[in-house]
Structure 1
């Protein structure tokens, strides 16, 4: 005998209500599963995988080496940046000390020659002044003698100033510019060292090595996870409760987790209570069927108990 569609719908509603009533008679427990929030450990730069220091299933501690990518280019860049720092520092030191002693000595020798020439030209001018008074030389010859004496005296003053300048450090603006060059070179060196350090990656948190997608010798694209880890604090349990129960649960509330193979129940605390229904069956909503609405709850065990649970493992949750 074939039942009409309306009859089938009524039978389905009756069956659903009957199951809901039976479930209310049982002890408060809900089904759920374990989920892991994995940490993908990667390098921001591409490179060949030279060394893999861990394997699947291994527990690691913070600071433990995980993997090393080839870093020839980064090492060369760091060396270049270090040399640029040394060059900039040497240039600043040179500016601060003025000219070399040998260069100053050359200027001093030129000054001595100029002083001797100035003495001779001054004496010649004195003689020409006397000769002009008695009519022994012309006005033109006297003017030339005076001009020569003044030029030689000016040359002495010029060389004296050159020696004073040679002993001075560079100008303030020049020193400031060279100091900025040193700062820029040091920043480039720090960047090169940072890039090199990202080719050898270590664990920052303790956890279980869940997967290693690459093997030594393979090319690893930038940002691709070489190691997938599961820290104890990233293990959580997800389960669903009916609408009639969700109001009695809150963050921080203790629950108990039971699972096949667990030697003892595992305690946990609720960390998330959904504000929206996760699942609504295709039935007509009414006060009698509102327990069909279920809400997602998340809870986390302590870090000591997290290792007893495995992602994907089905569990039973009861109120503590």
Structure 2
């Protein structure tokens, strides 16, 4: 009977001294995203408020863009003019202009035919002794001049149908490309006046009010995407050797309905002194190693930056 009692007391003592799972102190942290424009301007539209959940692609804010809109319109008109000039020099003269030269050519052909006939008559008269040598020379000169004019106008008609020289066309093509680049630049500057969320997240703060001047690069909205939530905790030197990226942990926080699973993503290679904000009666070592773990995106909303947590291995 006494032996059974001793056994029972031993079992009870063993049950009371069962060790709790080892846990480490830490805190939740957020890697905030600061939304800004590369251009300066007056804040004309603020489409979000603190605490709002944003979807990817949602408009966040817009700056006044009168100047950029006018600059884009001007660049588009300059591009249109450059393209029209390129088309003009690539197609030769207009048909009415070519028709004028053709009419001049037809008149020259008629004059040349008449001069040739007159030359033939004068040559016959000269052989018969009816005209002087000087008159024959005049007829021959007139026939030669008329024939030369026909050749000139024939070449002018051919040239009128030709486009501009290759060098001129190349230069104008370069002008078109430069105008196209100006349009793209103006469009980019206009687009920069309207900022959208590149990814989903929660708005943590708005830093300007409508009507205020915003310098280029100054953040207007501070937001936190769920994938940017992480947990930092600190472990003693004897433990750090067994922790590697990819290992699963459980995160406990006050008020959480259940522990949050997370995955270790980073283990520091350098020791540091225990942070003053970390209090643990179970930690005896002065030096600890920082470890980072990230929860799944679906669980990120359960943790809040700055919130104290306890982390244990799964």
TM bucket, shorter chain: 0.7 to 0.9
2: distance between equivalents of 1:224 and 1:142? 93
Q: How many pairs are equivalent?
A: 289
Paired residues of 1:252 and 1:269 also in contact (CA < 8 A): yes
| Between 190-199 and 172-181, the greater mean CA deviation after superposition | 172-181
Query: Helix, strand or coil for the counterpart of 2:250?
Result: strand
TM-score of the superposed pair, with normalisation by structure 1: 0.84
Match of 1:111 in 2: 105
2: distance between equivalents of 1:237 and 1:297? 8
Deviations 1:32-89 (A, max 9, x none): 1111001111111111110000001000111111011111111111111111221122
Matched, 1:124 2:92: no
Paired residues of 1:238 and 1:297 also in contact (CA < 8 A): yes
Query: Helix, strand or coil for the counterpart of 1:170?
Result: coil
Q: 2:91 aligns with which of 76, 94, 97?
A: 97
Paired residues of 1:56 and 1:209 also in contact (CA < 8 A): yes
| Between 68-77 and 180-189, the greater mean CA deviation after superposition | 180-189
Shift of 1:168: 2.9
TM-score of the superposed pair, with normalisation by structure 2: 0.86
Q: Gapped runs of 5+ residues in structure 2?
A: 1-18, 276-282
Query: Helix, strand or coil for the counterpart of 1:241?
Result: strand
Matched, 1:317 2:305: no
Q: 2:264 aligns with which of 267, 270, 277?
A: 270
Match of 2:208 in 1: 214
1: distance between equivalents of 2:168 and 2:311? 74
* Alpha-carbon spacing, 1:271–1:63, altered in 2? closer, same or farther (3 Å): same
| Between 47-56 and 91-100, the greater mean CA deviation after superposition | 91-100
Query: Helix, strand or coil for the counterpart of 1:251?
Result: coil
Query: Helix, strand or coil for the counterpart of 1:291?
Result: coil
Query: Helix, strand or coil for the counterpart of 2:302?
Result: coil
Q: Gapped runs of 5+ residues in structure 1?
A: 1-24, 282-288
Match of 1:177 in 2: 171
Deviations 1:162-213 (A, max 9, x none): 1122223334443343333323322221222122111111111110001110
1: distance between equivalents of 2:205 and 2:120? 102
Shift of 1:247: 0.6
Matched, 1:156 2:150: yes
